[in-house]
Every structure is written in C-alpha cells, then in structure tokens.
Amino acid sequence: MSFKDMCQLVREDYAAHGREWTRPGFRTLFWHRFGNWRMTVRSKLLRAPLSMIYRWGYRHCRNVYGIEIPYTATIGRGVIVEHQGGIVVHGASIIGDGSIIRQNCTLGLRSLQRLDEAPIIGRNVNIGAGAVIMGCVTIGDGAAIGANAVVMTDVPPGALAVGVPAVVKVR
C-alpha cells in the first residue's frame, strides 16, 4: 500500500464517519490504516520510528476509546465503528466494505488451539451492540447480527442472527 493509497482510505473513512475527525471509530481506523502502511516501508531504519508512533496510536485507541483493531486485521472500505467501548477485533479477522460495528462487540477466537480461525464479515453487515462472533465463522453480505447475539455458525447473506446462541432467520 502506498502512502497515497493510505490517504485515500483515510479520506473514505472520514466521509463514512460523517466527516467528523473527533469520532473514536475514525481515529482507530486511521491508526489501523497507518499501521498497515508503515509495514510497506522497506527500510527497517525508517520503519522503526513509524512503528513506535503506530504503537502509541494503537494503545491510545485501545486504552482511551476501548477499541482494539490491530493492523493485522483486514478492514474494508467505508467500515463504520459507530460507538466506542469494548470493541475487540482479532488480528486475523476480515471485515468487508460498508459494515457497521457497534459498542461492546467481539470478533474473536473460539479456541486457543486454533489461533488463525477468526470471523469473516461480508460487505454491508450490520453488527448490533454487544454481539459476539466467534471462530471461523462467515457472515454473508448484507446480514444483520442482533444486539447481544452470540454467533458461532455461518450466517447466510441477507439473514438475521439473534439470540444466545444465535438463531439464523431469513429476512
């Protein structure tokens, strides 16, 4: 990713967050994008200070806003982190374009024996407050995850998942 590409993604994130640079979700995505870009800097000598800056920004977002999105997660264009607090995204997670994540959501592992099996979120997925999506689960494009749902199975495109454990309902 070039610096120009990173700037374009940041502009898109800014627009998706209502052109409000003070929103914690926008700031967290900025540091995520910066973290990805700094890994493309070939010189270790140049990358080292950028890594220190990234770590400061990542920890600030994690500790102050309660939003933890490491640079290793794959985040699409126009993703909205709507509210701050309690958001944890595993580093191997994939979040598709135009998806919305609300407060207290976890996208994580089901087992410590399978550290690379993280959720795959499709495009335009709406994740309700307090939702937990665990393991190697695929959420289809346009699906909705209800508030406080615990999703441990795949959700087809356009479906609704609600409850604990989540029950999939076709809309």
Tens place of pLDDT for every residue, the chain, 171 residues?
A: 889 999 999 999 999 999 999 999 999 999 999 999 999 999 999 999 999 999 999 999 999 999 999 999 999 999 999 988 999 999 999 999 999 999 999 999 987 788 788 999 999 999 999 999 999 999 999 999 999 999 999 999 999 999 989 999 876
Whether the pTM exceeds 0.85: the reply is: yes
pLDDT computed for residue 113 by the predictor: 82
DSSP, collapsed to helix, strand or coil, labels residue 52 as helix
Total domains in the chain come to 1
Count Cβ neighbours within 10 Å for each residue of 19-34 and write b for 16 or more, e otherwise.
eeeebbbbbbbbbbbb
pLDDT computed for residue 75 by the predictor: 96
Q: Tell me the CATH number at 22.
A: 2.160.10.10
Structural domain boundaries enclosing 157: 3-170
DSSP structure string for 117-166: ---EE-TT-EE-TT-EEESS-EE-TT-EE-TT-EE-S-B-TTEEEETTTT
